[in-house]
Structure 1
């Protein structure tokens, strides 16, 4: 990956993209056309806030958790480390102890060789709840992943969401990391400033250090 060039690792938002079962699909339309207005096109969208590449606010899974507008934007800008964990179907402290995470701060997990935005995955990696305390112990405060959730699709307890939240670790999901090599990068994944929200789509980019 070329040093100095920003690389987009965002799932594009399209009307035919897959969505979490039961969630509001993404839909973009031209609410007003230039022909209708005489001057401009005006688009409108309807969507779950957890479509595509997105950030979870703690309020998403914790009634007492911070909402999106209460989060520090600096969390989502800065140095990040990508590690390749594609060989695992389940990941926790035991596996992560084999990686050098010193100084990582923001950790991005490359778990899948492909991430097809048009197909919701039938299964994806399990992140075990012991990941939260371990990541906190090595100084990680943001975890990014290239699948729809840090918990399994059928989970109601969301143990890994809570484990991460309880240890001060912020969550970004559905990154596109198939072409990203392991290593250290500059990272930007800013959520929209939606007051009171439980999450937001982000535009995620990386640049090799």
Structure 2
């Protein structure tokens, strides 16, 4: 049977990796089913950057919009998955060029791992800022990656985040693309309407194009 849907979101739980110092996932039960209570109700605490997530401009721009205020269009529509496995630490144009064609969709997701690691990866692959600039020149509205950040983990200048700020791009991080063949899909990865947050978890999926 032909696969029609790929879930590209990692599971979220207490052991999910986070940027060192960020808030891990935790959950407590506020109510449980008993003869006197008909429901289970929980409270969760976590960083909005855990799992597959969309960064808001507020994350890298003190005057930027919160995630609940951004346009949803970039997170929904045709996209291209490009394989650039083990090409780090920075993804250069030559790492993507084999999959760049005149009909490039406005959303590009890059797979860098053969298999996504279970824990935090200090040596994660990231986008080179000039690669983002060239994608933006081609009309790309959203970039994604299967690592925790579009910038190196040790970066303080966040040059790639500043590139998407300048060019008005949106970003998805921490995707799971291990089983996704290179090619074109429909992306569905809508962020929550969090009115004050610097990011939002997403349930990112790819759907086969007709």
Gaps of at least 5 residues in structure 1 are: none
* Structure 2 contact 145–173 (Cα < 8 Å) conserved: yes
Helix, strand or coil at the partner of 1:30: strand
TM-score by length of 2: 0.92
Equivalent position of 2:43 in the other structure = 44
- 2-side partners of 1:70 and 1:32: how far apart? 33
Q: Is residue 50–residue 199 contact of structure 1 (8 Å, CA) maintained in 2?
A: yes
Match of 1:133 in 2: 133
Matching residue of 2:119 = 119
Partner of 2:166: 166
SS in 2 for 1:190: coil
Conserved 8 A contact 2:109-2:144: yes
Q: Counterparts of 1:165 and 1:23 in 2: how far apart (Å)?
A: 22
> 2:87 is matched with which residue?
88
The correspondence of residues 94-113 of structure 1 with structure 2, limited to 5 A, is 94-101=94-101, 102-113=103-114
Inter-partner Cα distance in structure 1 for 2:114 and 2:186: 22
CA contact (8 A) 2:33 2:40 kept: yes
Distance 1:77 1:148 in 2: 21
CA contact (8 A) 1:131 1:164 kept: no
Q: Tell me if structure 1 keeps the 8 A contact 2:69–2:193.
A: no
CA distance in 2, matches of 1:37, 1:169: 50
What is the aligned-residue RMSD (CA, Å)? 1.7
Change (3 A) 1:66 1:81: same
Mapped to 1, the partners of 2:167 and 2:155 lie a distance apart of 20
Alpha-carbon spacing, 1:36–1:42, altered in 2? closer, same or farther (3 Å): farther
Q: How far 1:139 moved relative to its partner?
A: 1.0
2:179 corresponds to which residue? 179
